[in-house]
Structures are given as structure tokens and as C-alpha cells.
Amino acid sequence: MSRNAAYKPTLAWFAAIGSAWVFVLVALGALTTTIGAGMAFPDWPLSNGSVNPPGWLKEIDKFAEHSHRLSGVVMGLVTIGLAVWLHLREKRAWLRQLGWWALGIVIFQGLIGGKRVLLDSLAVPGFDMTLGQMLRLPHGMLAQVYVCVLFAIVAGLSRPWVANTIGEASRRVRLLGGLCLFLLFVQLAVAVTMRHNHAGMAIGFFPHSQPDGSLLPAHWDYRVALQFMHRVLAALIGIAVAAYGHFLWRDRGLHPFVRSGSFVLLGLVAVQILLGAKIIWTGRSVTMTTGHVVFGALTLATTFAVVFLTQRNMIEHPKP
């Protein structure tokens, strides 16, 4: 084991449970956006002036928004506990810093979410969206960054990381992993922008763009361009992850557990593409759309975790 670290099972499990809970938050946020319930309550931080507003368990829009707020509070408390626990018990400075970064992000996320409600009616000259509606974009993107930070903390606390049994990745694997992450983060930005500009059905056919089988749309506007870019990036990500998975699996310098991540990544990307197709085929089904957002977050976070694990030696022993 590293001279500066010891495996702390209770802390490790607490972080792992927190990183699992975040997907409850992501799912409820995705449901809220999908059904257009972001303004089910016009006030914040309370909902209609209460922590238990009438009807929130019976009306789907109120349930989605209020449960999203409640799950965010739970996530905030978990992150506070995690940051303080790391600060008190963890010797590695970079891991303690990640804890405080996670706390800073979750606080900022809460403020953005609140301002999204409070500034919903504030018009911005020259734009279709109000200022509050614009805040949905950084809120959606930062949520994914937060998930990745949590996964990095879980990785750093894990037994294989502490015991240094992960192994050493080849330069090719590290570069391909970085490429996959880059494409996924670009896709995240495009997807969030597309989603909040109501461009999810801008092209109503899949895998073609027209009923006659043409790949290119007949007419273009910014919504069609966003949807088409989303599809092109999905294809590029599929190719990049397939290549990454191939070389990751063949890299004998890594522990089999890390190498097996290649199959998980390929499976997640396949499911994500299928869910994207199902959105088009079902006319934007709530279930398919929400699932697509959740699996997108899981795909990004899992890829990040695998890439992060392969960078273990560089993170623990950075070159001067």
C-alpha cells in the first residue's frame, strides 16, 4: 500500500453509496425536464411555501420537481459528510481537495437550480429563453461533472487503488481514454443544449433523417443542426469506445478488473444509442427520454472512472 494511504472501508462504502444516490437525483431531474415540470412551484427553496406542499404526491409535475429538490437536499448532506470525513481522515491532499470540490459544486448546483426558478420570468433581449431557462444549461452540464468527481473519490478510496493493484496502462490506452472522455463531454454540451432548446424531435426519423432514407435533413435550422450533431457525435463515440475497449481489454499491464471495464463501456454505449433511437421511434416517450439522460450520465461517469483508474500512478506520483 501507499505510504500515504490506508484502505478505509466505511468511508469507501459511504462514498460509493453517495455516488449511487446521485443517479436518483439525476433521474428525477431528467423526469422534471422531460415533462416540463421545472416551474411546478414558483418559489424556492420552499415549494409553495412548504417542505410538504399539498398534492405533491398525487400530481406528477409537483412530484417530479419537489422530489428532485428533496433528493438534492439529501445529496447535499451526503456531500457535506463526505467532504468533512475526507478532510479529517484522508492523508492524500488531492483526495481531500476533491471532497471540497464536490461540496462546492453541489452548493453551486443548488443555487443555480434556485435561480432557475426565481429568474424564470426575466427576459433576455434577443433570446427566446428567459434568464431562468438559460440557467438550465449550466445546471445540466455541471451535474455530470459532479457525478464524475464523486466517481473519482470512490476510485481513490477503493481497495485496488490503495493497494496499488490496478497496474500500468499503455500510452495508447491512456490516449484513447482521453479521446473518449473529450467526445463524451462535447456530446454532453450538445445534448443539454439540444434538450433545453426542445430539439429532441427536430429530426423525426432514425437512423435516417428523412422518410426516403436520406442521411441529411431536407431543411436546416439550429434545432435540426443540434439534433444532427448529436447523432454524428454518437457515431463517433461508438467507434472511439469500441477502439478503446479493444485495446483496454488487450492491455495485459492492467488488472483484469480494470480491463473488464471495456465490456461495461461497450454495453452502456449500445444501450444509450438504443434509447436514443427509441426516443424518436416512440415520439419522445417519457420513459425512454428519462432513461436516455440517466444512461448518458452513467456512461460518462463510468468512462471517467475507468480512465481515472488507468491514470492512478500519474495521479499518486505526479512528475515534478
How far from each other are the two terminal CA atoms of the chain, in whole angstroms?
22
| C-beta separation of 169 from 310 below 8 A | yes
Confidence class for position 4, pLDDT limits 50, 70, 90: low
Mean pLDDT of all residues belonging to the chain: 94
Residue 238 pLDDT more than 90? yes
| C-beta separation of 68 from 29 below 8 A | yes
Confidence class for position 126, pLDDT limits 50, 70, 90: confident
Confidence class for position 1, pLDDT limits 50, 70, 90: very low
Both 20 and 133 in one domain: the answer is yes
Last residue of one domain, picked from the residues 148, 164, 180: 164
Q: Hunting for cell 491514470 — which residue is that?
A: 311
Q: Find the mean pLDDT for residues 245-272.
A: 96
- Cα-based torsion angle of the residue sequence 263, 244, 249, 304 in order, rounded to the nearest 10 degrees: -70
User: Counting Cβ atoms within 10 Å, is residue 23 exposed (0-12), middle (13-18) or buried (19+)?
Assistant: middle
C-alpha cell at 103: 461540496
The pLDDT score that the predictor gives to residue 320 is: 66
Q: Find the mean pLDDT for residues 290-298.
A: 95
The pLDDT score that the predictor gives to residue 143 is: 94
Residue 167: beta bridge partners?
254
Both 310 and 272 in one domain: the answer is yes
Both 197 and 108 in one domain: the answer is no
Domain span holding position 274: 166-320
Both 134 and 84 in one domain: the answer is yes
Both 226 and 141 in one domain: the answer is no
* 16-32 residue pLDDT tens: 999 999 999 999 999 99
pTM equals 0.93
Residue 128 pLDDT more than 90? no
Bigger pLDDT: 318 vs 104: 104
Neighbouring C-alpha atoms within 13 Å toward the C-beta of 279: 21
